Protein backbone atom coordinates (compact mmCIF):
# COMPACT_ATOMS: atom_id res chain seq x y z
CA UNK A 1 0.00 0.00 0.00
CA UNK A 2 2.74 2.42 0.95
CA UNK A 3 4.76 1.57 -2.18
CA UNK A 4 1.79 2.25 -4.47
CA UNK A 5 0.90 5.58 -2.82
CA UNK A 6 4.54 6.63 -3.00
CA UNK A 7 4.75 5.99 -6.71
CA UNK A 8 1.48 7.84 -7.31
CA UNK A 9 2.69 10.83 -5.32
CA UNK A 10 6.02 10.94 -7.12
CA UNK A 11 4.32 10.71 -10.51
CA UNK A 12 1.91 13.50 -9.66
CA UNK A 13 4.64 15.86 -8.50
CA UNK A 14 6.76 15.07 -11.57
CA UNK A 15 3.82 15.77 -13.88
CA UNK A 16 3.13 19.08 -12.14
CA UNK A 17 6.79 20.03 -12.48
CA UNK A 18 6.75 19.44 -16.23
CA UNK A 19 3.45 21.25 -16.75
CA UNK A 20 4.48 24.30 -14.77
CA UNK A 21 7.73 24.60 -16.66
CA UNK A 22 6.01 24.11 -20.02
CA UNK A 23 3.45 26.87 -19.48
CA UNK A 24 4.17 30.03 -21.52
CA UNK A 25 4.71 33.30 -19.71
CA UNK A 26 1.86 35.79 -19.47
CA UNK A 27 1.00 37.41 -22.82
CA UNK A 28 0.31 41.12 -22.56
CA UNK A 29 -1.92 42.94 -25.02
CA UNK A 30 0.84 45.51 -25.03
CA UNK A 31 3.12 43.10 -26.88
CA UNK A 32 1.28 43.28 -30.21
CA UNK A 33 4.20 42.14 -32.36
CA UNK A 34 4.51 38.81 -30.54
CA UNK A 35 1.28 38.03 -32.41
CA UNK A 36 2.82 38.78 -35.82
CA UNK A 37 2.18 35.73 -38.03
CA UNK A 38 3.16 36.93 -41.49
CA UNK A 39 5.41 39.68 -42.84
CA UNK A 40 5.69 40.20 -46.59
CA UNK A 41 6.80 42.95 -48.98
CA UNK A 42 5.87 43.43 -52.66
CA UNK A 43 7.53 45.39 -55.46
CA UNK A 44 5.55 45.89 -58.68
CA UNK A 45 7.20 49.11 -59.86
CA UNK A 46 9.55 51.74 -58.50
CA UNK A 47 6.98 52.42 -55.80
CA UNK A 48 4.30 50.09 -54.43
CA UNK A 49 1.74 51.22 -51.85
CA UNK A 50 -1.17 49.10 -50.54
CA UNK A 51 -4.44 50.97 -49.93
CA UNK A 52 -6.97 48.11 -49.84
CA UNK A 53 -7.08 44.45 -48.72
CA UNK A 54 -9.82 41.87 -49.30
CA UNK A 55 -9.88 38.16 -48.47
CA UNK A 56 -11.19 35.77 -51.13
CA UNK A 57 -13.34 32.74 -50.42
CA UNK A 58 -10.29 30.43 -50.79
CA UNK A 59 -8.19 32.29 -48.21
CA UNK A 60 -6.04 34.16 -50.72
CA UNK A 61 -5.78 37.94 -50.49
CA UNK A 62 -6.54 40.62 -53.07
CA UNK A 63 -4.45 43.75 -52.60
CA UNK A 64 -4.97 47.08 -54.31
CA UNK A 65 -3.15 50.38 -54.36
CA UNK A 66 -0.65 52.56 -56.18
CA UNK A 67 2.47 51.69 -58.12
CA UNK A 68 4.83 53.50 -60.46
CA UNK A 69 5.83 51.56 -63.56
CA UNK A 70 7.86 53.01 -66.43
CA UNK A 71 6.22 53.66 -69.82
CA UNK A 72 2.63 53.58 -68.53
CA UNK A 73 0.28 56.05 -66.90
CA UNK A 74 -1.75 53.21 -65.35
CA UNK A 75 -0.72 53.34 -61.70
CA UNK A 76 -3.66 51.61 -60.00
CA UNK A 77 -3.00 47.91 -59.35
CA UNK A 78 -4.73 44.76 -58.20
CA UNK A 79 -2.69 41.82 -56.94
CA UNK A 80 -3.60 38.37 -55.69
CA UNK A 81 -1.49 36.50 -53.18
CA UNK A 82 -1.52 32.80 -52.45
CA UNK A 83 -2.24 31.45 -49.00
CA UNK A 84 1.53 31.66 -48.52
CA UNK A 85 1.18 35.42 -49.30
CA UNK A 86 3.46 35.18 -52.33
CA UNK A 87 2.27 37.18 -55.35
CA UNK A 88 0.31 35.11 -57.88
CA UNK A 89 -0.53 37.86 -60.37
CA UNK A 90 -0.93 41.61 -60.67
CA UNK A 91 -2.70 43.87 -63.17
CA UNK A 92 -2.54 47.63 -63.83
CA UNK A 93 -5.57 49.87 -64.45
CA UNK A 94 -6.35 53.55 -65.13
CA UNK A 95 -6.16 55.86 -62.14
CA UNK A 96 -3.73 56.80 -59.41
CA UNK A 97 -4.62 54.03 -56.96
CA UNK A 98 -7.15 51.37 -56.04
CA UNK A 99 -8.84 52.49 -52.81
CA UNK A 100 -11.51 49.84 -52.17
CA UNK A 101 -12.08 46.16 -53.02
CA UNK A 102 -14.90 43.65 -52.53
CA UNK A 103 -14.80 40.03 -53.67
CA UNK A 104 -18.03 38.34 -54.77
CA UNK A 105 -18.82 34.74 -53.85
CA UNK A 106 -18.28 33.59 -57.45
CA UNK A 107 -14.73 35.00 -57.51
CA UNK A 108 -15.39 38.23 -59.42
CA UNK A 109 -13.82 41.37 -57.96
CA UNK A 110 -15.35 44.82 -57.54
CA UNK A 111 -12.83 47.63 -57.10
CA UNK A 112 -12.82 51.42 -57.07
CA UNK A 113 -9.93 53.71 -57.94
CA UNK A 114 -9.34 57.42 -58.23
CA UNK A 115 -7.21 59.57 -60.48
CA UNK A 116 -6.09 63.02 -59.35
CA UNK A 117 -4.16 65.96 -60.75
CA UNK A 118 -3.70 69.68 -60.19
CA UNK A 119 -6.69 71.67 -61.46
CA UNK A 120 -5.40 73.62 -64.52
CA UNK A 121 -7.61 76.65 -63.72
CA UNK A 122 -7.08 76.77 -59.97
CA UNK A 123 -5.22 79.83 -58.59
CA UNK A 124 -4.26 77.82 -55.50
CA UNK A 125 -3.22 74.61 -57.31
CA UNK A 126 -6.29 72.73 -56.07
CA UNK A 127 -6.53 69.03 -56.79
CA UNK A 128 -9.22 67.60 -59.05
CA UNK A 129 -9.77 64.25 -60.73
CA UNK A 130 -12.03 61.34 -61.63
CA UNK A 131 -12.93 57.97 -60.24
CA UNK A 132 -13.37 54.48 -61.68
CA UNK A 133 -15.60 51.59 -60.70
CA UNK A 134 -14.86 48.22 -62.25
CA UNK A 135 -15.58 44.50 -62.15
CA UNK A 136 -12.89 41.98 -63.01
CA UNK A 137 -12.61 38.21 -63.23
CA UNK A 138 -10.76 36.42 -60.45
CA UNK A 139 -7.56 36.74 -62.51
CA UNK A 140 -7.89 40.52 -62.86
CA UNK A 141 -9.26 40.58 -66.42
CA UNK A 142 -11.69 43.50 -66.81
CA UNK A 143 -15.39 42.64 -67.31
CA UNK A 144 -16.58 46.26 -67.26
CA UNK A 145 -15.30 49.65 -66.11
CA UNK A 146 -17.19 52.90 -65.49
CA UNK A 147 -15.45 56.27 -65.35
CA UNK A 148 -16.89 58.64 -62.73
CA UNK A 149 -15.89 62.20 -63.72
CA UNK A 150 -15.34 64.45 -60.71
CA UNK A 151 -15.78 61.65 -58.15
CA UNK A 152 -13.23 60.41 -55.64
CA UNK A 153 -14.35 56.94 -54.42
CA UNK A 154 -13.49 55.94 -50.87
CA UNK A 155 -15.33 52.75 -49.81
CA UNK A 156 -17.50 49.93 -51.21
CA UNK A 157 -20.21 47.68 -49.78
CA UNK A 158 -22.09 44.87 -51.54
CA UNK A 159 -25.76 44.64 -50.53
CA UNK A 160 -28.57 42.65 -52.19
CA UNK A 161 -26.69 42.26 -55.49
CA UNK A 162 -26.00 45.99 -55.58
CA UNK A 163 -22.76 47.94 -55.24
CA UNK A 164 -22.78 50.78 -52.70
CA UNK A 165 -20.04 53.32 -53.42
CA UNK A 166 -19.28 56.35 -51.23
CA UNK A 167 -16.72 59.12 -51.48
CA UNK A 168 -16.61 62.81 -52.35
CA UNK A 169 -16.73 65.09 -55.38
CA UNK A 170 -13.79 67.33 -56.18
CA UNK A 171 -14.59 71.00 -55.50
CA UNK A 172 -14.43 73.71 -58.19
CA UNK A 173 -11.23 75.63 -58.86
CA UNK A 174 -10.40 78.19 -56.18
CA UNK A 175 -12.84 76.86 -53.54
CA UNK A 176 -11.39 73.85 -51.71
CA UNK A 177 -14.12 73.97 -49.07
CA UNK A 178 -16.93 73.35 -51.61
CA UNK A 179 -16.64 69.57 -51.42
CA UNK A 180 -19.65 67.23 -51.42
CA UNK A 181 -19.92 63.65 -50.28
CA UNK A 182 -21.89 61.08 -52.26
CA UNK A 183 -23.72 57.77 -51.87
CA UNK A 184 -24.22 55.85 -55.14
CA UNK A 185 -25.88 52.53 -55.81
CA UNK A 186 -24.99 50.45 -58.91
CA UNK A 187 -26.18 47.08 -60.13
CA UNK A 188 -23.66 44.35 -60.93
CA UNK A 189 -23.45 45.49 -64.56
CA UNK A 190 -22.18 48.94 -63.52
CA UNK A 191 -25.47 50.76 -64.17
CA UNK A 192 -26.12 53.66 -61.77
CA UNK A 193 -29.42 53.11 -59.92
CA UNK A 194 -29.49 56.08 -57.54
CA UNK A 195 -27.26 58.78 -56.09
CA UNK A 196 -27.44 61.13 -53.10
CA UNK A 197 -25.00 63.97 -52.40
CA UNK A 198 -24.11 65.61 -49.09
CA UNK A 199 -23.02 69.26 -49.48
CA UNK A 200 -19.96 70.54 -47.59
CA UNK A 201 -18.71 67.18 -46.28
CA UNK A 202 -16.51 64.39 -47.63
CA UNK A 203 -17.33 60.73 -46.96
CA UNK A 204 -14.51 58.30 -46.16
CA UNK A 205 -16.17 55.15 -44.84
CA UNK A 206 -19.54 53.39 -44.55
CA UNK A 207 -20.97 50.65 -42.35
CA UNK A 208 -24.29 48.82 -42.62
CA UNK A 209 -26.70 49.07 -39.68
CA UNK A 210 -29.22 46.51 -38.47
CA UNK A 211 -32.25 48.46 -39.69
CA UNK A 212 -31.31 48.30 -43.37
CA UNK A 213 -29.63 51.71 -43.39
CA UNK A 214 -26.04 52.84 -43.04
CA UNK A 215 -23.73 55.11 -41.07
CA UNK A 216 -21.08 57.17 -42.88
CA UNK A 217 -18.15 59.20 -41.56
CA UNK A 218 -15.98 61.97 -42.99
CA UNK A 219 -15.09 65.62 -42.55
CA UNK A 220 -15.42 69.09 -44.02
CA UNK A 221 -13.08 70.47 -46.67
CA UNK A 222 -11.40 69.00 -49.72
CA UNK A 223 -9.25 66.04 -48.59
CA UNK A 224 -6.70 66.86 -51.30
CA UNK A 225 -6.29 70.59 -50.82
CA UNK A 226 -7.86 72.06 -47.68
CA UNK A 227 -5.30 72.83 -44.96
CA UNK A 228 -7.72 72.41 -42.06
CA UNK A 229 -11.06 70.90 -41.13
CA UNK A 230 -13.97 72.45 -39.26
CA UNK A 231 -15.48 69.21 -38.01
CA UNK A 232 -15.83 65.49 -38.54
CA UNK A 233 -19.28 64.03 -39.11
CA UNK A 234 -21.03 60.78 -38.14
CA UNK A 235 -24.18 60.55 -40.25
CA UNK A 236 -27.04 58.05 -40.17
CA UNK A 237 -28.65 57.49 -43.58
CA UNK A 238 -31.54 55.37 -44.86
CA UNK A 239 -31.21 52.57 -47.40
CA UNK A 240 -31.69 55.10 -50.22
CA UNK A 241 -28.94 57.38 -48.88
CA UNK A 242 -31.19 60.09 -47.44
CA UNK A 243 -29.94 61.62 -44.18
CA UNK A 244 -31.79 60.72 -40.96
CA UNK A 245 -29.51 62.61 -38.57
CA UNK A 246 -25.93 63.83 -38.19
CA UNK A 247 -23.55 64.42 -35.30
CA UNK A 248 -20.41 66.53 -35.67
CA UNK A 249 -17.15 66.67 -33.72
CA UNK A 250 -15.16 69.89 -33.86
CA UNK A 251 -11.61 69.86 -35.30
CA UNK A 252 -11.75 66.17 -36.20
CA UNK A 253 -11.26 64.30 -39.47
CA UNK A 254 -12.92 60.88 -39.46
CA UNK A 255 -11.51 58.27 -41.85
CA UNK A 256 -12.79 54.91 -40.59
CA UNK A 257 -15.54 53.29 -38.53
CA UNK A 258 -16.20 49.92 -36.91
CA UNK A 259 -18.92 48.65 -34.59
CA UNK A 260 -18.58 48.08 -30.86
CA UNK A 261 -21.04 46.20 -28.66
CA UNK A 262 -22.62 49.45 -27.47
CA UNK A 263 -21.83 51.90 -30.25
CA UNK A 264 -19.11 52.68 -32.76
CA UNK A 265 -15.37 53.31 -32.79
CA UNK A 266 -14.25 56.10 -35.11
CA UNK A 267 -10.65 56.71 -36.19
CA UNK A 268 -9.06 59.76 -37.77
CA UNK A 269 -7.08 62.88 -37.03
CA UNK A 270 -7.21 66.67 -37.21
CA UNK A 271 -6.14 67.25 -40.83
CA UNK A 272 -7.59 66.19 -44.20
CA UNK A 273 -6.74 62.71 -45.50
CA UNK A 274 -3.13 62.34 -46.62
CA UNK A 275 -1.57 65.31 -44.80
CA UNK A 276 1.63 64.37 -42.96
CA UNK A 277 0.82 66.47 -39.92
CA UNK A 278 -1.84 66.86 -37.27
CA UNK A 279 -2.91 64.63 -34.39
CA UNK A 280 -4.39 61.11 -34.55
CA UNK A 281 -7.57 60.50 -32.55
CA UNK A 282 -9.98 57.67 -31.72
CA UNK A 283 -13.57 58.41 -30.68
CA UNK A 284 -16.12 56.15 -29.05
CA UNK A 285 -19.72 57.12 -29.79
CA UNK A 286 -23.12 55.67 -28.95
CA UNK A 287 -25.45 54.27 -31.60
CA UNK A 288 -27.05 57.74 -31.64
CA UNK A 289 -23.72 59.49 -32.18
CA UNK A 290 -23.28 60.81 -28.63
CA UNK A 291 -19.60 61.15 -27.76
CA UNK A 292 -18.68 58.57 -25.09
CA UNK A 293 -14.95 59.20 -25.02
CA UNK A 294 -12.07 60.34 -27.20
CA UNK A 295 -8.44 59.31 -27.01
CA UNK A 296 -5.40 61.10 -28.40
CA UNK A 297 -3.15 58.61 -30.21
CA UNK A 298 0.50 58.61 -31.17
CA UNK A 299 0.97 59.81 -34.74
CA UNK A 300 -0.72 62.27 -37.06
CA UNK A 301 -3.49 60.08 -38.54
CA UNK A 302 -5.40 56.88 -37.78
CA UNK A 303 -6.55 55.64 -41.21
CA UNK A 304 -8.17 52.28 -40.54
CA UNK A 305 -9.77 50.36 -37.64
CA UNK A 306 -11.18 46.83 -37.23
CA UNK A 307 -12.03 44.40 -34.40
CA UNK A 308 -9.06 42.39 -33.13
CA UNK A 309 -9.92 39.67 -30.64
CA UNK A 310 -11.54 41.40 -27.66
CA UNK A 311 -10.02 44.72 -28.71
CA UNK A 312 -9.64 46.83 -31.85
CA UNK A 313 -6.64 47.35 -34.11
CA UNK A 314 -5.89 50.79 -35.58
CA UNK A 315 -3.42 51.43 -38.40
CA UNK A 316 -2.08 54.80 -39.50
CA UNK A 317 0.98 57.00 -39.63
CA UNK A 318 3.26 58.91 -37.29
CA UNK A 319 5.77 61.69 -37.78
CA UNK A 320 7.93 62.43 -39.54
CA UNK A 321 6.80 59.66 -41.93
CA UNK A 322 6.55 56.27 -40.29
CA UNK A 323 3.92 53.53 -39.84
CA UNK A 324 1.75 53.44 -36.72
CA UNK A 325 -0.13 50.44 -35.37
CA UNK A 326 -1.94 50.07 -32.06
CA UNK A 327 -4.60 48.18 -30.13
CA UNK A 328 -7.35 49.88 -28.16
CA UNK A 329 -10.19 48.70 -25.96
CA UNK A 330 -13.87 49.61 -26.20
CA UNK A 331 -13.47 52.17 -23.39
CA UNK A 332 -10.64 53.98 -25.19
CA UNK A 333 -7.76 52.43 -23.26
CA UNK A 334 -4.72 51.96 -25.53
CA UNK A 335 -3.10 48.61 -24.75
CA UNK A 336 -0.35 48.62 -27.38
CA UNK A 337 1.12 51.38 -29.54
CA UNK A 338 4.03 50.99 -31.93
CA UNK A 339 5.62 53.87 -33.85
CA UNK A 340 7.88 52.12 -36.35
CA UNK A 341 10.55 54.80 -36.47
CA UNK A 342 13.04 52.54 -38.29
CA UNK A 343 10.65 51.95 -41.21
CA UNK A 344 9.74 54.97 -43.33
CA UNK A 345 6.18 54.58 -44.57
CA UNK A 346 2.59 54.38 -43.36
CA UNK A 347 -0.31 51.93 -43.00
CA UNK A 348 -3.50 52.77 -44.93
CA UNK A 349 -5.22 49.38 -45.29
CA UNK A 350 -6.68 46.87 -42.86
CA UNK A 351 -8.90 43.80 -43.18
CA UNK A 352 -10.24 41.19 -40.73
CA UNK A 353 -9.64 37.64 -42.00
CA UNK A 354 -11.90 34.61 -41.65
CA UNK A 355 -9.62 32.84 -39.16
CA UNK A 356 -9.76 35.73 -36.68
CA UNK A 357 -6.48 37.32 -37.70
CA UNK A 358 -6.10 40.82 -39.17
CA UNK A 359 -4.11 41.93 -42.23
CA UNK A 360 -2.52 45.39 -42.29
CA UNK A 361 -1.02 47.01 -45.38
CA UNK A 362 0.73 50.13 -46.63
CA UNK A 363 4.27 50.91 -47.71
CA UNK A 364 7.71 50.99 -46.18
CA UNK A 365 11.33 51.60 -47.08
CA UNK A 366 12.77 49.16 -44.55
CA UNK A 367 13.82 46.72 -47.32
CA UNK A 368 15.74 49.43 -49.21
CA UNK A 369 13.08 50.12 -51.85
CA UNK A 370 9.65 51.70 -51.52
CA UNK A 371 7.68 48.45 -51.31
CA UNK A 372 4.16 47.45 -50.42
CA UNK A 373 4.16 46.01 -46.89
CA UNK A 374 1.73 43.39 -45.58
CA UNK A 375 1.58 42.20 -41.96
CA UNK A 376 -0.82 39.65 -40.48
CA UNK A 377 -1.50 39.60 -36.73
CA UNK A 378 -3.22 36.72 -34.96
CA UNK A 379 -4.58 37.43 -31.45
CA UNK A 380 -4.75 33.69 -30.70
CA UNK A 381 -1.04 33.17 -31.39
CA UNK A 382 0.81 32.33 -28.16
CA UNK A 383 4.61 32.51 -28.51
CA UNK A 384 6.78 29.86 -26.89
CA UNK A 385 9.16 30.94 -24.17
CA UNK A 386 12.75 30.39 -25.39
CA UNK A 387 14.88 27.93 -23.43
CA UNK A 388 18.05 29.33 -21.80
CA UNK A 389 21.05 29.16 -24.13
CA UNK A 390 23.33 26.20 -23.52
CA UNK A 391 20.78 24.43 -21.34
CA UNK A 392 19.71 21.51 -23.52
CA UNK A 393 16.93 19.53 -21.94
CA UNK A 394 16.54 22.18 -19.23
CA UNK A 395 12.87 21.38 -18.65
CA UNK A 396 13.40 17.63 -18.36
CA UNK A 397 16.46 18.05 -16.14
CA UNK A 398 14.57 20.37 -13.77
CA UNK A 399 11.63 17.97 -13.74
CA UNK A 400 13.98 15.10 -12.90
CA UNK A 401 15.43 17.10 -10.02
CA UNK A 402 11.89 17.71 -8.80
CA UNK A 403 11.23 14.00 -9.09
CA UNK A 404 14.31 13.11 -7.00
CA UNK A 405 13.37 15.66 -4.37
CA UNK A 406 9.85 14.29 -4.25
CA UNK A 407 11.16 10.77 -3.74
CA UNK A 408 13.38 11.84 -0.80
CA UNK A 409 10.47 13.73 0.80
CA UNK A 410 8.15 10.75 0.49
CA UNK A 411 10.74 8.34 1.98
CA UNK A 412 11.14 10.60 5.01
CA UNK A 413 7.37 10.94 5.34
CA UNK A 414 6.99 7.14 5.36
CA UNK A 415 9.90 6.65 7.77
CA UNK A 416 12.18 4.89 5.29
Quote the CA–CA distance of 319 and 300 in Å, as a whole number. 7
Return the pLDDT at 84.
93
CATH classification at residue 292: 2.130.10.10
Asked whether residue 8 carries a pLDDT value surpassing 50, the answer given is no
Quote the CA–CA distance of 219 and 234 in Å, as a whole number. 9
Q: Is residue 12 part of a domain?
A: no
Quote the CA–CA distance of 185 and 27 in Å, as a whole number. 45
Q: Which residues are registered as beta bridge partners of 130? A: 115, 149
Q: Which residue has the higher pLDDT, 9 or 284?
A: 284
Give the count of alpha carbons within 13 A of 305, CB side only: 33
Q: Is residue 356 part of a domain?
A: yes
* Lowest mean pLDDT, pick from 100-104, 207-211, 285-289, 320-324: 320-324
Asked whether residue 91 carries a pLDDT value surpassing 50, the answer given is yes
* Lowest mean pLDDT, pick from 20-29, 214-223, 228-237, 297-306: 20-29
Return the pLDDT at 383.
66
- Please choose, from the candidates 110, 117, 249, the residue with its C-alpha nearest in 3D space to the C-alpha of residue 189: 110
Return the pLDDT at 141.
98
Return the pLDDT at 13.
41
**Which residue spans within 29-108 are E strands per DSSP?**
36-42, 48-55, 61-67, 76-81, 87-93, 97-103
Q: Is residue 290 part of a domain?
A: yes
Decide: 247 and 263 in contact? Cβ < 8 Å.
Answer: no
Return the pLDDT at 308.
94
Q: Is residue 361 part of a domain?
A: yes
pTM recorded for the entire structure: 0.83
Quote the CA–CA distance of 112 and 154 in Å, as a whole number. 8
Percent of the chain with pLDDT over 70: 81
Q: What does the pLDDT average to over 117-145?
A: 86
Q: Is residue 321 part of a domain?
A: yes
* Lowest mean pLDDT, pick from 20-34, 142-156, 183-197, 258-272: 20-34
Return the pLDDT at 226.
60
Q: Is residue 26 part of a domain?
A: no
| Bridging pattern class, strands 151-159 and 142-149 | unpaired
Q: Domain span at residue 165? A: 36-381
Q: What does the pLDDT average to over 279-285?
A: 97
Q: How many domains does the chain have?
A: 1
Return the pLDDT at 306.
97
Q: Is residue 399 part of a domain?
A: no
Q: List, for residues 15-58, the tens digit of each pLDDT value.
A: 434 333 333 333 334 567 788 999 999 999 999 999 999 999 99
Amino acid sequence: MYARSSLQGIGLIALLSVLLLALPGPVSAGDLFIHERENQTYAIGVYTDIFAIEESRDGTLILGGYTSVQNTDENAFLMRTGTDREMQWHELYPGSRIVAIKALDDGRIISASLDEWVHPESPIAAITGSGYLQMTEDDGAVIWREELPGDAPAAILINDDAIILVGWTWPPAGDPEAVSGFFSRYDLTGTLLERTEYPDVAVHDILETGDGGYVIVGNTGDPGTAVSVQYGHFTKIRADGEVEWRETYEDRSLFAITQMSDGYLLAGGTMPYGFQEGQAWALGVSSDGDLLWEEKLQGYAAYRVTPYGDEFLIAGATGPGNPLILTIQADGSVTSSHRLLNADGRFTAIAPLSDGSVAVGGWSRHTGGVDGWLLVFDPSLVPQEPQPAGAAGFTLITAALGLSGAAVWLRRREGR
